[in-house]
Amino acid sequence: MLSERLNNAYNAQIKNELNSAYIYLGMAAYFDSHNLPGFAHWMRAQAEEEMEHGMKFYHFVFERGGNVALAALDEPSVQYESPMAAFKAAYAHEQFISESINHLYRLAEEEHDYASRPLLHWFIEEQVEEEANARGIVEQLEMVAGSKTGIFMLDRQLAKRE
């Protein structure tokens, strides 16, 4: 059974994950409105992945005898100065999510909740990948800065994300 502190923290993480999906959907809307379908596709795929992450936490809370309390989501931005600004925001957001998962891990350790370890280890490893992906696209955008051709080529590459 989850402690009340840990149950509340998991509920906060469910909100963070679902909020992430909403943020990425807002970014997809920005890219769609700027006729960059590959960038938009990448963000929609990211939004779907974040929904899956939220559901992993959702199911885990119930499996552990806890209670899910769903909080209101924040309104995401659908406007960015540039593709670079959107991906820098995505990278910063992934860093925030990494820290929130690290916080959950520390709390689980304090509560001696060893059953949380496998789930949280999976998310810790996942966040390494999430940050690397976002940072990698920021770095690619830096390489093609000022090049419309480069942006269109990157758009085509991002459209291939499964």
pTM of the model: 0.95
Q: Which helix (H) or strand (E) holds 155?
A: helix 148-158
pLDDT at 52: 98
How far, CA to CA in Å, does 109 sit from each of 8, 116, 120, 127? 15, 9, 11, 19
Number of structural domains in the chain: 1
- d(CA 154, CA 142) in angstroms, rounded, equals 12
Question: Could you say which residues of the chain have pLDDT below 50?
Answer: none
The domain spanning residue 151 has which CATH number?
1.20.1260.10
- d(CA 154, CA 144) in angstroms, rounded, equals 9
Q: Are 44 and 30 in contact (CB under 8 A)?
A: no
Q: For residue 150, what are the domain limits?
A: 4-158
pLDDT at 130: 97
